[in-house]
Structure 1
Amino acid sequence: MARLHLIIILFFFFFSAAFATGKPHAFMMKVSKHDFGYLYYSSIEVGTAQNSFSVNLVLDLSSKSQFPWFDCSATRYNSSSYRPFRFGSPGCKLVKNAVPWDCPNAIGAPPTSFCFNQSCGVFPISDVEIVYIGSLGEDIMRLGSRFTTPPVVFSCVNPSTAGTVPESSPGILSLSRHVLSLPMQLASSLQLPRKFALCLPSNTNQEPGRGSLFIGGGPYLYPPYSGDASGLFATTSFVTNPAIKARHKGASPGDYFVDVRSIEVDGETIRFDKSILSVDKKGKGGTTFDITRPYTYMRSSIFNPFIKAFKAKARARKMIETTTYAPYSACFDRKSVRTGIAGPDVPAIDLVLRDGKKWRIYGSNLMVDDGESWCLTVQGGSGVRPAILIGGILVENNLMEFDIESSKFSVTSSLLLHNTSCTRSATA
């Protein structure tokens, strides 16, 4: 393990020295929402100025993505500053399950100028091996209009891998804990704090429907709210997944598990076995995120008492339940639901954090409009590995900070309560 840490330090030290002048402070990237679905992406420009290309990359908080990856087919990308990695090189050793890959002979491989025999073959989707493979390399990037980065490690993939995401966003921007995720790479090479914040828009990608990804910390300014929105944070600790920790010999490159202790609906505590909110030795249980999914999922043992309590509180508000259809768990006649500052005025959900702090979830993050009804987007299922899997809708217009250095998670409730939203960031 000590040797791996030394490799990581030496690997990024070279790039830190090379870019020692003009290092930026914490900076912001714009985040857009796809018109046709609940996916969120940022635009980056890759490569030398004369041969660069722009690509939209879907944001992913999960540990499935260790590093950024995208389609590097010949018609899209021909950068003279691209440097592929050989198998066994220091950079290649940072990736789980890397293999030697003679990619010029593979179907759909990147151009031979970007790949060669004994390339560092990697699996961009870490839990889907053999089917999807790409080559690891590095190139400079421009993130927004602020600056050009030191070389960033990413994977060129073949078009079949990019087919797992929308054609307009042919790749993934990893925000995971892994040392090669974008926030971790830039924190190391630019000597920024190992933290990032995310504020997902509820609007689609039409202006002004853009949220923000902050790398390196705040301030977080959202006028007309006065001051730094970090003053609205409820903070708790991340929870280590024992199974991942054991597998990686003390490291913690797994998902972001948040220390949720109980759940309330309109102030009433839901009764269920709270032990499943902890992550067990097999890696089951706990509360984590997957913003590539729109809906939030709960284990059946949580969902069943939750939906019973939610419907009871809805009846107390004189909300009229209508016919419910997949994928929703309950729908209500929109005429019977009042509208508040944070969306439809439905029973609020509190995720009760460590030390009794509460992350309150309001109607705009619980319901979707199907035309005649408001429908609940929280679902249940016996096949959910975590106890609670938080999807994209639930966190829209909530500012979230992932402080990897301090192992803390901070979140606001809906910014709509303060007459602002994720699209109103004033941070330069």
Structure 2
Amino acid sequence: MVTCPGSIIIHFFLFSAPLLSVLWSCSSVSALKPRAFILPIEKDPTTLQYSTSIDMGTPPLTLDLVIDIRERFLWFECGNDYNSSTYYPVRCGTKKCKKAKGTACITCTNHPLKTGCTNNTCGVDPFNPFGEFFVSGDVGEDILSSLHSTSGARAPSTLHVPRFVSTCVYPDKFGVEGFLQGLAKGKKGVLGLARTAISLPTQLAAKYNLEPKFALCLPSTSKYNKLGDLFVGGGPYYLPPHDASKFLSYTPILTNPQSTGPIFDADPSSEYFIDVKSIKLDGKIVNVNTSLLSIDRQGNGGCKLSTVVPYTKFHTSIYQPLVNDFVKQAALRKIKRVTSVAPFGACFDSRTIGKTVTGPNVPTIDLVLKGGVQWRIYGANSMVKVSKNVLCLGFVDGGLEPGSPIATSIVIGGYQMEDNLLEFDLVSSKLGFSSSLLLHMASCSHFRLV
């Protein structure tokens, strides 16, 4: 590791083969403009949550954060270990507070003034997606670091991002205990990637004039230091042994005109919806109520993506015919059905299922999207191992009635996105998707040495 002026530190990575050692002068490195940023993604085997790590403040505090593409900003719990000399609170009524869509002007109560606990501070409402509750948080600016940037050099470097806007929740500040409830052990907050002015991709794109897009490659496992990738600023997306950009097909990202939360207001949804036209099983259209696939005037229906929902949820009227058709096709292949294991509705004897490069040899499922492209789901993303000899169809019945003011018919969960490259273009409003990288002898679970 070589330390240079200008807050840039050179790291040598191991992707798939050893990189040649390249020496750079500090002056040349400091002048390099980042082309993109790369953060590692880890999967927790117990909670099935995906997370990454960043450093915040001076001195830097390491934060392990759960990734949520629905959340509007980065929020974290800031306790006594967060005492940053480079922290600036965002004051009430300022342009920055309006940009953050501040909902309140808050003061520091029950604690002495400190970093993340100040008076006359812009307040927002961080949302815990697992506990499903809010609490007020202070909006502030600080140095964000440990983001690996690419700048034309073969070795990515770590760049310090000044005055990055995030939200800090002081423990028990408002008498609320356990705000991290439901997050994987050791996680200190949530990294939000929604379509907002202060999400990580938007801020980095604006500060460094990058392409306003990000890409996810969620790992199916993080054993033995195998990690996935969060790319911010565009490709290429090097996933050994390929630049996976060439595998992408594209479909529009839709804007739901109604707010879908977690804060319900008069603004359109900041979540990522796509236009599913039909669903196919082994090439044959599944007979479902197609009206559920569209977003109606009240914002109900349609299909969105989620990194905090572990398995794809279907409205009952879609789920039942899909499962019924899958069971019939499985029987034709002489795949033996066994007793179901919650939360799944159809399970099978794995000893009667063959193996392929894309996982268990089962009927394929296609989401037929606007533009005529198809997101194909192979066995590795449709079948979940629940015991030694049992595999279950990895989809969940989402019910008939909404669990919130807005009911989405299909919520694509993390398991179905694993080992798929997904690119979110925030200006062109396009989703690029690769389908399974296993087809190309690639994966989102690869070794990394930092």
1:281 matched to 2:335? The reply is: no
1:176 matched to 2:194? The reply is: yes
Q: Deviation string for 1:73-129 (max 9, x for gaps)?
A: 01x2111001111211222112335201112x14xx695343322211210119999
Runs of 4+ in 1 over 4 A off after TM superposition: 126-131
Cα 1:248/1:184, change in 2 over 3 Å: farther
Hey, what's the Cα distance between the residues in 2 that align with 1:221 and 1:95? 33
Give, in angstroms, the shift of residue 425 of structure 1.
8.4
How many pairs does the alignment contain? 396
Query: Which residue, 281, 288, 291 being the options, matches 1:272?
Result: 288
Mark the runs of 5 or more structure 1 residues left unpaired by the alignment.
1-19
Q: Deviation string for 1:346-395 (max 9, x for gaps)?
A: 11100001122111001111111122200111112223521100111000
Query: Which residue, 429, 434, 438 being the options, matches 1:412?
Result: 434
> Which residue matches 2:412?
390
> Which residue matches 2:320?
304
Hey, what's the Cα distance between the residues in 1 that align with 2:311 and 2:52? 21
> Which residue matches 1:119?
121
1:423 matched to 2:445? The reply is: yes
Q: Deviation string for 1:191-244 (max 9, x for gaps)?
A: 11110100000012x34320001101100122334xx31221121001121224
Which secondary structure state, in structure 2, belongs to the residue aligned with residue 355 of structure 1? coil
Cα 1:253/1:304, change in 2 over 3 Å: closer
Alignment-mate amino acid for residue 254 of structure 1: S
Query: Is the 8 Å Cα contact of residues 49 and 184 (structure 2) preserved in structure 1?
Result: no
Cα 1:129/1:118, change in 2 over 3 Å: farther
Query: Which residue, 342, 352, 376 being the options, matches 2:358?
Result: 342
Alignment-mate amino acid for residue 47 of structure 2: G
Which secondary structure state, in structure 2, belongs to the residue aligned with residue 59 of structure 1? strand
Query: Is the 8 Å Cα contact of residues 121 and 136 (structure 1) preserved in structure 2?
Result: yes
Hey, what's the Cα distance between the residues in 2 that align with 1:78 and 1:281? 47
Query: Which residue, 146, 152, 163 being the options, matches 1:151?
Result: 163
Query: Is the 8 Å Cα contact of residues 302 and 409 (structure 2) preserved in structure 1?
Result: yes
Cα 1:337/1:111, change in 2 over 3 Å: farther
Hey, what's the Cα distance between the residues in 1 that align with 2:269 and 2:85? 32
Alignment-mate amino acid for residue 60 of structure 1: D
1:209 matched to 2:226? The reply is: yes
Hey, what's the Cα distance between the residues in 2 that align with 1:345 and 1:395? 18
Q: CA RMSD in A?
A: 2.4
Query: Which residue, 72, 88, 92 being the options, matches 2:93?
Result: 88
1:39 matched to 2:49? The reply is: yes
> Which residue matches 2:140?
137
Alignment-mate amino acid for residue 73 of structure 1: G
1:325 matched to 2:330? The reply is: no
Hey, what's the Cα distance between the residues in 2 that align with 1:41 and 1:88? 33
Query: Is the 8 Å Cα contact of residues 128 and 179 (structure 2) preserved in structure 1?
Result: no
Hey, what's the Cα distance between the residues in 2 that align with 1:345 and 1:111? 60
Alignment-mate amino acid for residue 212 of structure 1: D
1:316 matched to 2:316? The reply is: no
> Which residue matches 2:69?
61
Cα 1:130/1:209, change in 2 over 3 Å: closer
Query: Is the 8 Å Cα contact of residues 126 and 134 (structure 2) preserved in structure 1?
Result: no
* Segment drifting more, 411-420 vs 22-31: 22-31
Give, in angstroms, the shift of residue 285 of structure 1.
0.7
Alignment-mate amino acid for residue 243 of structure 1: Q
Query: Is the 8 Å Cα contact of residues 140 and 165 (structure 2) preserved in structure 1?
Result: yes
Cα 1:283/1:383, change in 2 over 3 Å: same
Cα 1:340/1:26, change in 2 over 3 Å: same
Which secondary structure state, in structure 1, belongs to the residue aligned with residue 65 of structure 2? strand
Query: Is the 8 Å Cα contact of residues 78 and 116 (structure 2) preserved in structure 1?
Result: no
Hey, what's the Cα distance between the residues in 2 that align with 1:45 and 1:68? 12
Give, in angstroms, the shift of residue 406 of structure 1.
0.4
Hey, what's the Cα distance between the residues in 2 that align with 1:24 and 1:194? 14
> Which residue matches 2:258?
243
Give, in angstroms, the shift of residue 278 of structure 1.
1.2
Query: Which residue, 300, 306, 312 being the options, matches 1:290?
Result: 306
> Which residue matches 1:17?
none
1:79 matched to 2:87? The reply is: no
Hey, what's the Cα distance between the residues in 2 that align with 1:281 and 1:271? 24
Query: Is the 8 Å Cα contact of residues 123 and 129 (structure 1) preserved in structure 2?
Result: no
Alignment-mate amino acid for residue 313 of structure 1: Q
Q: Deviation string for 1:301-337 (max 9, x for gaps)?
A: 1111111111111111111000002111111001111
* Segment drifting more, 395-404 vs 121-130: 121-130
Which secondary structure state, in structure 1, belongs to the residue aligned with residue 253 of structure 2? strand
> Which residue matches 1:12?
none
Cα 1:209/1:424, change in 2 over 3 Å: closer
Cα 1:163/1:182, change in 2 over 3 Å: same
Which secondary structure state, in structure 1, belongs to the residue aligned with residue 368 of structure 2? strand
Cα 1:149/1:113, change in 2 over 3 Å: closer
Hey, what's the Cα distance between the residues in 2 that align with 1:382 and 1:90? 43
Give, in angstroms, the shift of residue 166 of structure 1.
2.4
Alignment-mate amino acid for residue 82 of structure 2: Y
Cα 1:27/1:276, change in 2 over 3 Å: same
Which secondary structure state, in structure 2, belongs to the residue aligned with residue 112 of structure 1? coil
Alignment-mate amino acid for residue 431 of structure 2: F
